[in-house]
Structure 1
Amino acid sequence: MPTVFTEGMHPGEFLVSEANGRLSRDVVTLAQTSITYQSGSVLAWATDISKWVHYAESGTHGTDTAGAINYARVDASGGDKQATVIARLAEVNGAQLSFLPGTTTNGKAAAAVDLIAAPHLIAVR
């Protein structure tokens, strides 16, 4: 019987377009977590620890406000990790964004509103 492989998201696969050069990108610190940051994971700035974390629609300390999108898969289970994110001036495919399990349709819509707001200007299509 043949072996079936499932290919995950490629780095930046969620991007429709971005600004010239690397204007859309930043290198940030992702906080340690047991949940892998996927390419397309929606992120929020946690004000209590001053690091980026998974967006959580009912979170606290800023984690309920989307502010960036993780560019490539990052395993931060062993500690904080540096990562590239899409932080501004981009257009993304909303169907390819990744959210924490249990995020509602309303939570995803709220994240899209957060991302299009200044200074991010990230349009979710």
Structure 2
Amino acid sequence: MPLLETAVVASDWLKQEAENYRSRDTAIIASGSGKLKSGQVLGKLTASGKYVPSAATGSDGSQTAVAVLVFPVDATSADQKAVIVAREATASHNGLTWGSTINDAAKRAAAIGQLKAAGILVREGA
């Protein structure tokens, strides 16, 4: 019998946010981003203002981690509305999902620093 993959929910990674959902914004996830889980670290495309999974390098805005996806979305073939955490929050690193090119400790540390600059504190083991 195959093991079932457990869905990631916001409480897996979002440990504190500002009252009255001040930490959250609505956003558009760009078509082609794929199926994204809650906890996906996002970058914001400079040209369109849409969000995509954050990347380790680039020059289109995706290289800067600025937000985290609250609820899963499927943006495989169309733009999707989404709820993101964009400020005044504390997240556990264990529940976050990183872009495919953020694949080592140094790149994760850089993205964590970028999230901190946006007001999202990522804690180890929290």
Report the TM-score when normalising by structure 2: 0.89
Cα offset, 1:38, TM superposition: 1.2
Q: Percent identity?
A: 31
Residue 94 of structure 2 aligns with which residue?
A: 95
Residue 110 of structure 1 aligns with which residue?
A: 110
Residue 68 of structure 1 aligns with which residue?
A: 67
Give the Cα–Cα distance (whole angstroms) in 2 for the partners of residues 4 and 110 of structure 1: 33
Cα offset, 1:81, TM superposition: 0.4
1:14 matches 2:13: yes
Residue 30 of structure 1 aligns with which residue?
A: 29
Q: 1:95 to 1:101 in 2, by over 3 A?
A: same
Q: State which drifts further: 22-31 or 92-101.
A: 92-101
Residue 121 of structure 1 aligns with which residue?
A: 119
Report the TM-score when normalising by structure 1: 0.89
Q: State which drifts further: 99-108 or 38-47.
A: 99-108
2:34 counterpart SS class: coil
Unmatched 5+ residue regions in structure 2? none
Counterpart amino acid of 1:67?
A: V
Equivalent pairs counted in the alignment come to 122
Q: State which drifts further: 78-87 or 2-11.
A: 2-11
The structure richer in strand per residue is: 2
Give the Cα–Cα distance (whole angstroms) in 2 for the partners of residues 3 and 55 of structure 1: 31
The structure richer in helix per residue is: 2
Say what the alpha-carbon RMSD is for the aligned residues: 1.5
**Residue by residue, what CA displacement relative to the aligned partner does 1:12-54 show, whole Å, maximum 9, x if unpaired?**
4210111111100000111012531211000011112321111
